[in-house]
Each structure stands twice: as C-alpha cells, then as structure tokens.
Amino acid sequence: MTEAPAWLHGQPHEWVERDGVEYLLLGTAHVSRESVEAVRDAIGSGGFDAVAVELDEQRLQALTDTESLARLDLVEVIRSGRTAMFAANLALAGYQRRLAEQLGIEPGAELKRAVLEARARELPVHLIDRDVGLTFRRASARLGWWGRAKLGGGLLTSLFVSEEVSDEQIEKLKQGDMLEASFEEFASDSPDIYETVIAERDHYMAARLRQLREDTNLDGQVRVLAVVGAGHLRGLAAHLRTDTAPAADIRAELESVPQKSSIPWFTIGLAAFVLGGFAWGFWQGGLDVGTDLLLQWVLATGILGAIGCAIAGGHPLSILVAFLASPITPLHPALASGTLSALTEAWIRKPTYADFLALRDDVQTVRGWWRNRVARVLLNFFLTSLGTAIGVWTGGLRMLGRLFG
C-alpha cells in the first residue's frame, strides 16, 4: 500500500487502511534495542498524526512512574478483594526485573519510548491494550476449579522465583508478547489462557484502533502508528481489516467478566454440612459428642489458619485474628480469614513509604518477603487462607469419621 521507508526495513509491520485512516502496525520485540530505535525513527519521521501503544494505564504507570507503588493504599487493596491482582502485578514486575538484569534492557522499553517521543512532539497518544487486571480476571473465569488452583499456585510460586529466564523463553518473547511470556511461567499449555491473553487482546486492540478517529477529532486522511508486540501483528491486522461489528460493542463484550452464580452453593453446602453435623452430634450423641465435634472443627481450622499466619511472620494479634476467624469465615461467603488477618497486620505494622519503594527489589529474595512489610502482608493473606483451607478439609474429614465411624 505504501512504500516502506528506510527505517522500516527489517522490522515486522503491516499497513492497513480503513475508514479514512491509514495504520502502520509496527511489530516490536519487548527486549530489543533495535525495536526501540525503530520506534524512535518512526515517530521522528513526522509522518503520523497519532501514536497508539500496546499498553494500558496501569502498565504505562509502572514503566514511567517508579514511585507509583509508594502511593498505593494497601488496606483498600485488601478490603476490595484485589490482593490476588496486586500479587499478579508483582509477579509480572519480578519477571520483567529478571529480564532487565539478564539482558541489560528494560522490557517494554520500546513502548515507553513511543509514549515519550509522541508526547515530546505533542502527538495524541492512545493506550489501546485492555487493562491487565481485566485480562487476568477473564483468564481466571475461563478456567475450572483446578485450572484456577494451578494459576493461583503458580502465581504464588513465581513470586519467589529468582533464577534466570531461559534462552528459549527469551526467543519466544522476541516474537511474542510480554503478558503471554509471564503467564507461561505458571499457566503453560492452556488454550483458555492463550485465548484470553493473546487472541482476545488482538480483537480488543483492533476495536480500539477503529475508534481512534472519534478520539482524535482529526478530519481528512489520518495516519496512525500502532506500536505492538510482534506476536500480535498478524491477528491485529486481520481483525482491523475484517471486523464488521461496532467497535464499541466489541469492547463492551471483551471488557465484561462472566459473573459467577449469585448463589454461593459451595459455601451453603459447607455450612449445611458443618452446622448439620454439630446439630446431629448434639441430638444423637448428647452434649459430649456435639461439643467434641465443635471443638475439633474450631481447633483444626483455627490452629492451621493461625500457623499459616505465624509462618508469614504475623504479629501476635494477627495470629489471634486468624485463629478466631478461621472457624467462621469458611461458612460465610463474604468473609475470608486471610483478608481479616492481613488487614490486622497492615493496621498494626503499617507499611512505610520506604517499604513500597523497596518492594520490587525485596520480593526478589526469600528473606526480603519477610523483611518488607508490604510483602509480609501479602504472605499473611495467602498463607492464612491456605492454612484455613487445609483446616476445612482436615476438620471436615474428622467430622465425617466421627459421624459415620
């Protein structure tokens, strides 16, 4: 369609023209200095009216504002149920840090350069990628119970990983996508993960590009430079050429998260089983049997929840809260022992500004997780919840043995 300028030779790219807009889709490698130079030269050529970048607000802030974590309200994160998302972002940051140390270049440097160069030339900048938290929630919603357990367990494990990224992973990253590479560490060989992390985002970014004329309010022929990972190039170009549904409708569909059943059947079933077991024990076996069943449940859940909190280095009051909450919270759909103990920990040992600033470095070592107050609150949440979950199974099995033994 357009003769390629000299600075584009050797760079993966696609030209697409649609609805009076000419798009240059520039495929980049997130760990390549050549990609950074290509982005610089493309914007410096002066041939574009706007620049679109494969970023969302959250990822751009992480790239350009090194102190963004220091302004985070950790208590609000825990209270609003976003603890797992916060941990996912830490895992991604840790993966990027290992790449930067190993390769000597900041992953996503070409995306950051695109934003800074465009702003310096007063060009409109459009962040066309879907929010990373939304992508994570949609990926999780597509998985079954076991898939979510693997994803969560792998995420927790990846927070402690500090070994070098393999050559094979680096080569995949050069041709692929940062989120895909980071998810691959703990969710490999999953078609559902691929569909949500890659294919859906191709569709989403194409819809965002189609909306740029409205967003820029530019008349006449418009040229847009879109800087995206090379792994998105083919799918993005195909959607941009062929999609016929309104772009706003596509965005709305891909920004929605499938809602779980409003009826918490598992919690209801567990509560019915536990409370029914207590009632049967008091009715059939009298005060001794009923009291013994109640005591076994409290000790199994409370002690294991408290042990999880203690392993996380929790304050004595946090451990007490974990012990008191663990027998009750499994029977209530809106409560979690890990949330209550973590909130207590954050209240008693309020993280300092220095803790937030040091967080990305501290989570690269096992010792740092216990030294940093922010990281220790996260450990408190996960390990208390894990201890309570083990306690639920332990207490439930003991109850079954007593009732039917």
Query: Secondary structure of 172-201 in the HEC alphabet?
Result: HHHHCCHHHHHHHCCCCCCHHHHHHHHHHH
Burial (Cβ within 10 Å: 0-12, 13-18, ≥19) of residue 147: middle
Q: Characterize the bridge pairing of strands 125-127 and 222-229.
A: unpaired
* Residue-level pLDDT, tens digit, the chain, 405 residues: 456 677 777 788 899 999 889 999 998 876 678 888 889 999 998 889 999 999 988 888 877 776 666 677 777 878 777 776 777 667 666 666 666 666 666 777 888 899 999 999 999 999 999 988 788 788 777 776 666 666 666 556 655 555 555 555 555 555 555 555 555 554 455 566 667 777 888 999 999 999 987 766 666 678 999 999 888 888 899 999 999 999 999 999 999 887 765 667 777 888 888 888 888 888 877 888 788 888 999 999 999 999 999 999 999 999 999 999 999 988 887 788 999 999 999 999 988 878 887 877 787 778 888 999 988 998 899 899 999 999 999 988 888 887 776
Residue 126's closest CA among 71, 193, 55?
55
Residues in the chain: 405
Q: Would you state the pLDDT for residue 254? A: 92
| pLDDT for the residue 154 | 59
| Threshold 0.85, pTM exceeds | no
**Euclidean distance between CA atoms 65 and 83, whole angstroms:** 21
What pLDDT is attached to residue 186? 47
Instruction: State the amino acid at position 50 in one-letter form.
Output: A
Give the full edge-to-edge strand order of the sheet including 222-229: 13-18, 21-28, 222-229, 50-53, 125-127
C-beta contacts of 281-290 below 8 A and 24+ residues apart: 281/402, 281/403, 289/402
In the DSSP assignment, the letter for residue 261 is P
Q: Of 192, 68, 207, give the one whose Cα is nearest residue 139.
A: 192
In single-letter form, the type of residue at position 342 comes to A
Q: In DSSP terms, which residues pair with 223 in a beta bridge?
A: 22
d(CA 108, CA 179): 11
- The confidence score (pLDDT) of residue 99 equals 65
Q: What is the pLDDT of residue 318?
A: 96
**3-state secondary structure at position 244:** coil
Amino acid in position 118: A
For the chain, domain boundaries: 6-255, 267-404
Q: Give pLDDT, residue 149.
A: 62
Name the strand (E) or helix (H) holding 361: helix 353-362
Q: Tokens representing 329?
A: 């919270």
